[in-house]
Amino acid sequence: MLLDYPALIAEQKVWVAEQGSDVVGVLVQYETDDGFYIDTVAALPRMHGRGVGRALLTFAETTARARGHDALYLCTNSKMTENQVLYPRIGYVEYDRRPQGGYDRVFYRKHL
């Protein structure tokens, strides 16, 4: 929520999903010392359940593979219980829980 989006866009780390001329989803992804990281994946509320988020995650997986990674990782706030149901269902495995940036985070990794 506190990301410097102009900088991330300039660094080509931000991708969007469009429907017509509307932006309906966003993905922020980049490489870190720990591997290929999905920082943000989000879809407009009216687009929930329509595959926008899943398409963005699939794009991230394709990008990670293309950059030579055999896995990618992400985290979610521990209060976002719907994510904690979704991520394991689509192949992510929880590997850590810890505070980060003032939030309790749940970390997931997916092997490709």
71 Cβ contact partners less than 8 Å away, ≥ 6 residues apart: 35, 36, 64, 109, 110, 111, 112
d(CA 3, CA 11): 13
Whether the pTM exceeds 0.75: the reply is yes
Torsion, Cα of 92, 56, 107, 88 (10° steps): -30
Please write the tens of the pLDDT for every residue from 39-85.
999 999 999 999 999 999 999 999 999 999 999 999 999 999 999 99
DSSP-derived secondary structure letter, 90: T
Percentage of residues in the chain with pLDDT exceeding 90?
94
